[in-house]
């Protein structure tokens, strides 16, 4: 089944304790992206990756890191989480972001992160 998977789905942690949220897709997609969703703000892009070893900042990159060593994986790293990073996080992928092959993004199920 074609899908984007994220782990963990729920995480409660404390301020300053490094964590990683994994994201994996099995569709051979080039483009992957991370978003955070907060009430009243919709989804905001954190980082995106056009292909392996190519990443760039989105709208709200502060406090986050990413890496793209393999095409299928795009982990999100919080080196020193803070309470303002409590949010719902989505990973997404698509075949490409370049027309005419551009198509929809496929979203993972989301990760609910709480930082105490």
Partner 1 sequence: AQTVTQSQPEMSVQEAETVTLSCTYDTSESDYYLFWYKQPPSRQMILVIRQEAYKQQNATENRFSVNFQKAAKSFSLKISDSQLGDAAMYFCASYYLNYGQNFVFGPGTRLSVLP
**Interface with partner 1 by CB under 8 A: which residues?**
33, 35, 40-45, 48, 56-59, 88, 90, 92, 97, 99, 102, 104-105, 107, 109-110
Nearer to partner 1, 27 or 43 (CB): 43
Smallest distance from the beta carbon of 44 to partner 1, in angstroms?
7
Q: Which three-class secondary structure state does DSSP give residue 104?
A: coil
Nearer to partner 1, 15 or 108 (CB): 108
> Which of the 8 DSSP states describes residue 105?
P
Smallest distance from the beta carbon of 107 to partner 1, in angstroms?
4
Smallest distance from the beta carbon of 62 to partner 1, in angstroms?
14
Nearer to partner 1, 78 or 92 (CB): 92
**Cα angle 25-27-30, degrees, rounded to a multiple of 5:** 80
* Contact of 34 with 74, CB cutoff 8 Å: yes
Residue with tokens 């955070």: 36
Torsion region of 40: left, alpha or beta (phi above 0 gives left; psi -120 to 50 gives alpha): left
């Amino acid at each position: 089944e074609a899908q984007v998977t994220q782990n963990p789905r729920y995480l409660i942690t404390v301020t300053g304790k490094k964590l990683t949220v994994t994201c994996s897709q099995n569709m051979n997609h080039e483009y992957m992206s991370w978003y955070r969703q907060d009430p009243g703000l919709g989804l905001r892009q954190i980082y995106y990756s056009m292909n392996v070893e190519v990443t760039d900042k989105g709208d709200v990159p502060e406090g986050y890191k990413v890496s793209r060593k393999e095409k299928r994986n795009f982990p999100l790293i919080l080196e020193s989480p803070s309470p303002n990073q409590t949010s719902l996080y989505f990973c997404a992928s698509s075949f490409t972001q370049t027309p005419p092959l551009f198509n929809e993004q496929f979203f993972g199920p989301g990760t609910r992160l709480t930082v105490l």
